Structure 1
Amino acid sequence: MCRILGVSRAQYYRYRSPKPSKRRAEDADLKQRILRIFAEFKQRYGVMKIHHELNLELQPLQRRCSPRRISRLMKELDIHSVTVNKWKAASASKTKVEQRPNLLKQDFSTTGLNQKWTADMTYIQTKRNGWCYLSTIMDLHSRRIIGYSFSKKMATDLVLR
């Protein structure tokens, strides 16, 4: 019958009782591990970081896995890391920025309260509205925050998280 169909006997028996190959079984195990690592690190890890974590996990089992194999398996699972563009300040302004004199001249030491203050402005990325800012004023002697301010939409985004 195999001769008539033009099929080898090995192919016929393989077709009758299909068993996954050793490679397919390893791939299934690796896919589960990749999905677990991917979820554990909030979908932020790409191929190289998953490769590192996976090889740390497989080292006691005396197994290794290449980044190319992980990439192939991640494509089969249709997963990829979440990338976020870094915040950049507005494009170069046409108006010239006014230079201010450096009054402290890198001397941050104080002998009492309210002699020197510092201000900081931090931009925070939010999921819903893009970017918000948080600005603080700190007394250099006590290292206590004297005042702070944040954008209105930051307050709503922090509540929604």
Structure 2
Amino acid sequence: MSRYQFIEQVAPTEPVQVLCRVLHVSPAGYYQWLGRAARPTPSWEPAATAAFSRHAQRYGTRRLRAELRAEGHAVGRYALRSWLRRRGLRALSTRPQRPRTTVADPAAVVAENLLLGQPAPTAPNQVWVGAITYLPLVGGRWCYLATWRDTCSRRVVGWHFDHQIIK
């Protein structure tokens, strides 16, 4: 709601001069706004609403603009952005947001696989392997699960669960 709309709503009970002074608006500007004709709804707005709904709220301003242009509506990205914001709409992300678990270091040396070429273990507790995975939580946060497994018995011999990876 704009200041002018607020003044128009409260004007029957309060003096316009006082409202304009409190809201830092000139009375002349308010009366000029009152005299203006209401803007007609642009022809592209119903088409944009239909396109946004049709694509399950996944289209942002660029794809919406391209689709509306293909339908013959002349509209810019920034007009679409303002239109989406006024209606409280936001395009949904199609890609899941995953945490970065490692920082790429070009100088890092990759550890060699010591199990390659070795015979398979014949008894439990000879060789353990480990893995780290991350699990999504409610609210967009993540937890990390590290597990150690015995390669012979294939049983989990240990695990650790935390909200951060500790070196």
Q: Which has the higher helix share?
A: 1
Instruction: State if a TM-score over 0.5 links the two structures.
Output: no
Looking at CA atoms only, which structure, 1 or 2, has the larger radius of gyration?
2
Normalised to the residue count of structure 1, the TM-score between the two structures is 0.41
Normalised to the residue count of structure 2, the TM-score between the two structures is 0.40
